[in-house]
C-alpha cells in the first residue's frame, strides 16, 4: 500500500493509454459522442506518448486528477497484493523448509540437492499465489480501472464514483453483484503471469546476485533484483493486462458486451491497432511496475525480517513450527509414494544423496579414531542409535532382523547440519599429535615476533591457529567444523531466518546452562532448596547469591543457607535464569533492593529468563519487569493486579520469558519447568520418575 502512493499516477497513465485508440469496430457505442466531444475514437490514438497523456490529464482535469482512483488502488493492494505476497511467502518458506528439513525427495523440488526451490517451483508458487490474490482483489481492480478511465469519457457518460466504496456499492445496485468479478478470468491469468514472472524472477535474480559474491543481502541487492523482476514482468504481462483493462472498463449496450473474452480483445487490438499495441503504455507500465516492485520487495523484505524476528521466536515459534511440520509431514507422505528409493535408507548404508538418484560415499571426520562407536559392527548392533550420529541422513533405521526400513517420526531432521548429540567431545589437543602441536606453537610465536605483539598476531591469525589452543567445547567444535559451511550457505541464500533461528537453538542447547538464585533473610527455604536441587539434577549450574554479602542467610523457618557468593560479586556475569524465592519478609526485601532491580532488568533486557515463586512476584512489580500473565501466592494477588498484571491461578505460568509459581507446594513443578525451558522437555521428563513426583 505504501508503494501505491508513489505509483498511482503512473497506473492512471497506463490505464488511459491502454484504453486509447479504440477502433470503430470495437467501440460503436461511442460514435454518438464523437462529434460532440472532439474525441476521435475510431482508430486514432488519444495520446501520442506517456508524457502527452499525463500533460493532457493535468490540463483538462487538474493536477489532483492524477490521483483519481487512489482509494481503489489502496483497496486493491490491501486485498490482491497482500494476499498474493503473503501466500507466496508462506508457500516459499513451506517448500524451502520441506527441502531443508527432509532433504531431497523429489527432483522437481530441488534439482541440485540444495535448500533453494528450483526456478520452476518458484514460478509455480508465484502463479498459485497470484491466482488466489486476483480472485480476492478483482472487485477493487474493476473499481480502479473504471475510476482511472472515467476522465477520458464524455461528461454525460462518466460514472463519477466518489470513492472505491461508492463504486462497489453502485456496481452491485446497478449491474449486479457478479459484475464485481467481471474480467475475473483475464485478471487471474494476468496475475498468474505477473506473479510467475515477478516473484520467480525476483527470487532468481536475488539468488544470482548473491552468488556473485559482489552483492550482499541488503537493500541494494533487493533494488537490483526488483528492477530486473519489473522488466521481465512488464514484457510478459502487458498483453494480458490490456485485455483485462478493456474488459473491465467496457459497457454493456442492450445486453451485448463489447468484448466476448480476452482472445477477442487481442484479435481486435491486433487487427485494428497493430501487434505492438498489445504493449501500449509500456513506458508508464514499467515506470510504475519498476518502482512499485522495488518498494514492494524492499518493504516486504524488512517486514519479513521483523516477522521472523518477532513471530518465529519463542514462544510463538514453537507452535508455528509444529503446525508447519505437521503440514510438511502430510506432503512428505505423498512424496514418499513417488520416490522409488529412500534417502534415509541410503544414509543408513553410509551414503549421501547429492541428486535425485545419485549418491556419494561419505565418512565422518575422525570416524575411526575419535568415534570408534561408528564402526560397521556398532552400526549393526545399535540400529536405533544411528540417527544420533548421521545427522540429517536418518529419519529411521534398518531393522537388523528383517532388513526392512523402519520410519520413526521423532527422528525427522529439522536442519541440514549434523546432530552432535552423543558425540564424545575431547580436549582440543587430542586432535593433534605432539609434533603438530609443537609446530603450531612455533608458527604462532614467529607470527608474534613478526607483528610485534600478541594482540596484532591474533588479528592476522585464525582462531583455531592461535596459541595456546582454545578450549574445545561443543560450541567451538561445531563452529570449527561447520561454521564456514553454514556462513557460505547463508551467503548463497540457502538458509533463511527460520534456519538461522534453529542453528542458534542448536548452539544454545549445547552450551552449559547457569542459574542465579538470590537469597535474602526471610526467604522460603523449601522454594530455595527444592528449586536449586532440581536444576542441578538437570545439569544446570546454580549459584546462590546473598543479597547482604556471602554471610549465612536465615530463612523464614530458621533454616540457614550459606550463599556461594555475594550478589554484588556476580552482577557482571550473565545467567540463563535469575530466580527469586518467596517468603514474605524475603520477598519484601528483594522488592526494595536497587541491586536486585539492576540484575533483573539487565537479564530480562538480554532475553534471559526471570523466575519468581510464592510472594516474590511482587519484586517483578516493584522493578517494572513486564509480563503478559503471572501467578503467585494468593496473599499478593491484589498487589499484582493493582500493578496492571493479568493474573492466573495456574500452578506455573510462563509468559514473556517470565516464570512465576504459587508457593512451596508448587516448587517441584516450578523447578521442572525451569529445567524444561533451559535443557529441554526430555530432560525434565527424565527427572520426574526417580524423584517420584506426581504431576
Higher pLDDT, 321 or 521: 521
More reliable by pLDDT, 362 or 19? 19
The count of residues in the chain is 695
All 3 cell numbers of residue 451?
607483528
pLDDT at 433: 46
Among residues 248, 190, 265, the alpha carbon closest in space to that of 21 is found at: 265
User: What is the pLDDT confidence band of residue 214, given thresholds at 50, 70 and 90?
Assistant: confident
Instruction: Please give the domain boundaries of the chain with CATH numbers for all domains.
Output: 2-308 (1.50.40.10), 340-411 (no CATH), 428-506 (no CATH), 512-691 (3.40.50.880)
Of residues 314 and 233, which shows the higher confidence score? 233
Quick: pLDDT tens for 608-667.
Answer: 999 999 999 999 999 999 999 999 999 999 999 999 999 999 999 999 899 999 999 999
- How many Cβ atoms from other residues are within 10 Å of residue 17's Cβ? 26
Residue with cell 521481465: 232
Inform me whether the pLDDT recorded for 231 exceeds 80.
yes
Q: What is the pLDDT of residues 101-124, one digit of tens each?
A: 333 233 233 333 334 556 667 667
In DSSP terms, 655 is beta-bridged to: 658
Q: How confident is the model at residue 516 (pLDDT cuts 50, 70, 90)?
A: very high
Is 527 catalytic? The answer is yes
pLDDT confidence of residue 230: 80
For residue 342, pLDDT over 50 is answered with no
Band of residue 480 on the pLDDT scale cut at 50, 70, 90: low
Residue 459: count of CB within 10 angstroms of its CB = 8
Range name among 33-47, 433-447, 541-555 with the lowest pLDDT average: 33-47
Q: Which of 279-283, 286-290, 611-615 has the lowest mean pLDDT?
A: 286-290
When pLDDT is cut at 50, 70 and 90, the band that residue 180 belongs to is confident
Out of 301, 414, 527, 669, the active site residue is 527
641 is catalytic: no
Active site (annotated) includes residue 292: no
Mean pLDDT of 48-53: 75
Spot the catalytic one: 555, 633, 669, 676: 633
Residue 369 and residue 279: Cα distance in Å, rounded?
68
Q: 184, 614, 623, 676: which one is catalytic? A: 614
Mean pLDDT of 565-569: 93
What SS3 state is found at 627?
A: coil
Q: How confident is the model at residue 34 (pLDDT cuts 50, 70, 90)?
A: very low
- Is the pLDDT reported for residue 382 higher than 80? no
CA distance 66 to 314: 47
Question: For a pLDDT cut of 90, what percent of the chain falls above it?
Answer: 22
pTM of the model: 0.35
* Parallel, antiparallel or unpaired: strands 565-566 and 577-580: unpaired
294 against 29, higher pLDDT: 294
pLDDT tier for residue 545 given thresholds of 50, 70 and 90: very high
Q: How far does CA 63 lie from the centroid of its chain?
A: 42
Give the Å distances, CA to CA, from 65 to 13, 19, 69, 171. Answer: 11, 17, 9, 22
- DSSP SS3 for 544: strand
Question: Looking up cell 542453528, which residue turns up?
Answer: 503
Residue 407: the pLDDT is: 57
Amino acid at each position: 500500500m505504501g508503494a501505491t502512493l508513489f505509483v498511482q499516477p503512473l497506473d492512471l497513465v497506463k490505464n488511459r493509454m491502454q484504453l486509447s485508440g479504440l477502433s470503430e469496430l470495437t467501440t460503436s457505442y461511442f460514435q454518438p459522442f464523437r462529434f460532440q466531444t472532439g474525441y476521435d475514437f475510431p482508430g486514432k490514438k488519444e495520446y501520442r506518448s506517456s508524457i502527452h497523456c499525463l500533460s493532457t490529464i493535468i490540463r483538462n482535469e487538474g493536477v489532483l486528477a492524477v490521483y483519481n482512483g487512489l482509494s481503489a488502488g489502496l483497496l486493491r493492494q490491501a486485498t490482491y497484493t497482500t494476499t498474493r505476497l503473503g501466500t507466496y511467502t508462506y508457500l516459499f518458506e513451506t517448500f524451502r523448509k520441506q527441502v531443508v528439513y527432509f532433504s531431497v525427495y523429489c527432483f522437481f523440488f530441488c534439482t541440485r540437492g540444495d535448500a533453494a526451490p528450483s526456478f520452476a517451483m518458484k514460478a509455480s508458487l508465484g502463479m498459485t499465489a497470484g491466482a488466489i490474490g486476483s480472485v480476492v482483489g478483482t472487485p477493487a481492480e474493476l473499481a480502479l480501472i473504471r475510476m482511472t478511465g472515467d476522465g477520458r469519457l464524455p461528461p454525460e457518460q462518466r460514472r463519477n464514483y466518489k470513492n472505491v466504496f461508492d463504486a462497489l456499492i453502485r456496481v452491485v445496485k446497478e449491474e449486479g453483484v457478479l459484475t464485481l468479478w467481471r474480467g475475473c478470468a483475464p485478471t487471474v491469468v494476468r496475475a498468474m503471469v505477473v506473479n510467475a514472472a515477478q516473484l520467480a524472477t525476483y527470487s532468481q535474480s536475488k539468488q544470482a546476485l548473491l552468488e556473485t559474491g559482489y552483492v550482499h543481502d541488503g537493500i541494494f541487492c533487493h533494488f537490483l533484483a526488483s528492477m530486473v523482476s519489473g522488466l521481465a514482468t512488464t514484457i510478459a504481462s502487458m498483453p494480458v493486462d490490456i485485455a483485462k483493462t478493456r474488459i473491465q472498463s467496457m459497457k454493456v449496450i442492450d445486453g451485448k458486451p463489447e468484448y466476448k473474452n480476452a482472445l477477442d480483445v487481442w484479435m481486435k487490438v491486433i487487427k485494428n491497432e497493430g501487434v505492438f499495441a498489445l504493449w501500449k503504455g509500456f513506458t508508464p507500465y514499467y515506470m510504475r511496475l519498476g518502482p512499485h516492485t522495488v518498494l514492494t520487495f524492499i518493504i516486504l523484505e524488512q517486514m519479513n525480517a521483523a516477522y521472523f524476528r518477532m513471530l518465529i521466536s519463542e514462544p510463538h515459534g514453537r507452535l508455528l513450527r509444529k503446525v508447519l511440520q505437521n503440514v510438511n509431514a502430510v506432503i512428505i507422505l505423498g512424496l514418499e509414494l513417488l520416490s522409488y528409493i529412500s534417502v534415509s535408507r541410503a544414509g543408513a548404508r553410509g551414503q549421501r544423496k547429492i541428486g535425485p538418484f545419485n549418491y556419494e560415499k561419505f565418512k565422518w571426520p575422525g570416524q575411526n579414531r575419535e568415534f570408534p562407536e561408528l564402526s560397521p559392527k556398532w552400526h549393526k548392533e545399535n540400529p536405533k542409535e544411528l540417527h544420533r550420529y548421521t545427522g540429517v541422513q536418518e529419519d529411521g533405521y534398518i531393522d537388523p532382523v528383517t532388513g526392512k526400513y523402519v520410519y520413526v517420526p521423532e527422528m525427522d531432521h529439522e536442519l541440514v547440519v549434523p546432530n552432535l548429540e552423543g558425540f564424545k567431545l575431547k580436549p582440543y589437543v587430542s586432535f593433534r599429535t605432539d609434533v603438530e602441536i609443537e609446530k603450531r606453537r612455533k608458527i604462532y610465536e614467529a607470527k608474534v615476533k613478526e607483528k610485534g605483539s600478541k594482540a596484532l598476531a591474533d588479528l592476522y591469525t585464525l582462531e583455531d591457529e592461535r596459541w595456546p589452543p582454545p578450549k574445545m567445547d561443543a560450541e567451538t567444535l561445531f563452529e570449527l567444523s561447520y561454521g564456514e559451511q553454514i556462513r557460505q550457505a547463508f551467503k548463497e541464500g540457502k538458509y533463511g531466518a527460520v534456519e538461522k533461528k534453529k542453528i542458534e537453538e542448536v548452539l544454545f542447547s549445547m552450551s552449559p546452562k547457569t542459574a542465579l538464585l538470590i537469597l535474602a533473610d526471610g526467604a522460603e527455604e523449601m522454594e530455595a532448596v527444592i528449586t536449586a536441587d532440581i536444576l542441578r539434577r538437570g545439569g544446570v549450574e546454580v549459584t546462590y547469591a546473598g543479597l547482604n554479602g556471602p554471610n549465612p542467610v536465615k530463612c523464614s523457618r530458621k533454616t540457614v543457607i550459606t550463599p556461594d557468593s555475594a550478589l554484588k560479586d556476580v552482577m557482571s556475569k550473565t545467567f540463563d535464569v535469575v530466580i527469586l524465592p518467596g517468603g514474605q519478609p524475603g520477598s519484601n526485601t528483594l522488592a526494595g533492593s536497587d541491586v536486585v532491580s539492576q540484575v533483573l532488568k539487565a537479564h530480562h533486557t538480554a532475553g534471559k529468563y526471570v523466575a519468581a515463586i510464592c510472594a516474590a512476584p511482587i519484586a517483578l512489580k516493584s522493578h517494572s519487569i513486564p509480563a503478559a500473565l503471572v501467578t503467585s501466592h494468593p496473599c499478593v494477588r491484589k498487589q499484582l493486579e493493582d500493578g496492571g498484571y493479568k493474573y492466573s491461578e495456574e500452578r506455573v505460568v510462563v509468559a514473556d520469558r517470565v516464570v512465576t509459581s504459587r508457593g512451596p507446594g508448587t516448587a517441584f513443578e516450578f523447578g521442572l519447568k525451569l529445567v524444561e525451558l533451559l535443557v529441554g522437555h526430555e530432560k525434565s521428563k527424565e527427572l520426574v520418575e526417580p524423584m517420584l513426583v506426581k504431576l
